[in-house]
Amino acid sequence: MARDRRPARTGGARPAGARTGALALAAVVLLAGGVTAGMALAPQAEPQSVRSATPPAAVPVSRQAFDDSRRVKVTPVVAEEGTLSVADQGKVTRSVCAPGAVIESGSSPVTVDDRPVLALATSIPLWRDLAPTAKGDDVKALQVELARLGHTVRVDGTYGDATKVAVTKLFKAAGVPKPTGDLPVASVLWLPAPSVTIEACEVPVGGATSAEAFATTAGTLVSLGLADPLTNVTPGDRVVRLGEASAQVGEGGVVTDPAFLEAVRGSVEFAGWQRAEGAEPLPLEYVLASPLDVSVVPPGALFALDGPAGCVRADGTAHPVTVVASSLGQTLVTFDGLDAATAPTEVELTSQDVGQSCR
């Protein structure tokens, strides 16, 4: 029997099992590639540690009193030791004179023969009797002092009705039952300053007055003058302050309030100034007489700033404000037209878009 000698086939269709395996392998490769590509294209989740905090829509507003305290240098004016004389002749029946005692203008420190004597600190010592219709620089000096003492007078150099009323009040306070409103020169103890400190008394109670000194005064603090007026301060009436004592600053930056001068004279600051023999001015506080009730807001709440004028938004409403001061990431403002009771308690953090306004 003849043997089939045809060569075996090397080409032709693969078995079905082989084709299935190849397709499965290709699918796995494509799937892996897709996952890798997807991982490359998908955004990565931001770690919690580097996520930025979302700013609050609104922040609370706090309030505080603001007196715009500044340090100023003042120059003390000290009168030399001197003497006080009583022109009225007679026997001293009452006296407050004592070493270390303070005599203030407007008071009655001594009585002569039952006649109270007024102490007055006038820029011109009174040298004649004054009465209604009198005119002159001495009358004007009297009126200036009466006004400083709180009396309503017109400083015009004419002894008019208002001056008469003020003098009458001073004598009534001194114990005169029916003052005439005149001012006899014998009834005045002239002071070189609004207040003086007694060093020694020359005429005791029961002694007779004479042309000699009634008392000797120590070197007296007469006034304080602002050495360098400040600029760029919050507008408003101001006072100088030392501890709990304060006084208004008069015309030309001069302070003459007797109580304040007495407080300064007894302070360690003034003692240091004296030890230095006035080589440096005396430092004091310079503050608003009436502190402002201000709101404290973050700078990011302000927009439409134009100098001190600006705006903030609260509850969707824009409010005009005035910037009083800024420091340490805080801005002090007052709400225009609103008091502390009606001012917003929260403000919104807002963008600084050009064109926004509240005015």
More confident call, 194 vs 139 = 139
Q: Per the structure block, which two tokens stand in for 327?
A: 């420091």
Residues 160-198: tens digit of each pLDDT? 999 999 999 999 999 999 999 999 999 999 998 888 889
pLDDT value of residue 354: 59
More confident call, 243 vs 340 = 243
Integer distance in angstroms from the first to the last C-alpha of the chain? 121
Residues 194-244: tens digit of each pLDDT? 888 899 999 999 999 976 789 999 888 888 998 777 778 888 889 999 999
Mean pLDDT value of segment 114-136 = 95
Residue 281 neighbours by CB under 8 Å, 6+ apart: 73, 74, 75, 227
Is the CB of residue 95 less than 8 Å from the CB of residue 201? yes
Q: Per the structure block, which two tokens stand in for 210?
A: 């004479």
Q: Per the structure block, which two tokens stand in for 64?
A: 């505080």
User: Is residue 342 scored above 60 in pLDDT?
Assistant: yes
Residues 273-326: tens digit of each pLDDT? 888 888 888 999 999 999 999 999 999 999 999 999 999 999 888 999 999 998
**Which residues share a beta bridge with 286?**
70, 240
Where do the structural domains in the chain lie, given as residue ranges? 70-77+221-288, 82-218, 293-348
CA distance 116 to 319: 62
Amino acid at 193: A
CA distance 33 to 41: 12
Mean pLDDT value of segment 53-78 = 85
Of 187, 195, 186, residue with least CA distance to 117: 187
Distances, alpha carbon 172 to alpha carbons 108, 118, 313, in Å: 11, 11, 60
Task: Tell me the percentage of the chain whose pLDDT exceeds 90.
Answer: 57
CA distance 352 to 329: 17
CA distance 202 to 200: 6
pLDDT value of residue 341: 82
Work out the mean pLDDT of the chain and round it to a whole number.
83
Q: Per the structure block, which two tokens stand in for 271?
A: 């003692």
Is the CB of residue 354 less than 8 Å from the CB of residue 304? no
**Which residues share a beta bridge with 285?**
71, 241
User: Is residue 21 scored above 50 in pLDDT?
Assistant: no
CA distance 273 to 221: 12
Amino acid at 91: K
Q: What are the DSSP calls for 272-308, one per residue?
A: HHHHTTTSSPEEEEEEESS-EEEEEE-GGG-EEEETT
Of 107, 108, 103, 157, residue with least CA distance to 134: 157
Distances, alpha carbon 55 to alpha carbons 48, 58, 59, 271, in Å: 16, 9, 9, 54
Mean pLDDT value of segment 87-93 = 94
pLDDT value of residue 44: 46
Is the CB of residue 191 less than 8 Å from the CB of residue 119? yes
Average the pLDDT over each of 51-55, 99-103, 173-177, 258-262 and give the range with the smallest value: 51-55
Of 291, 286, 312, residue with least CA distance to 301: 312
pLDDT value of residue 235: 85
Residues 240-265: tens digit of each pLDDT? 999 999 999 887 889 988 889 888 98
User: Is residue 97 scored above 50 in pLDDT?
Assistant: yes
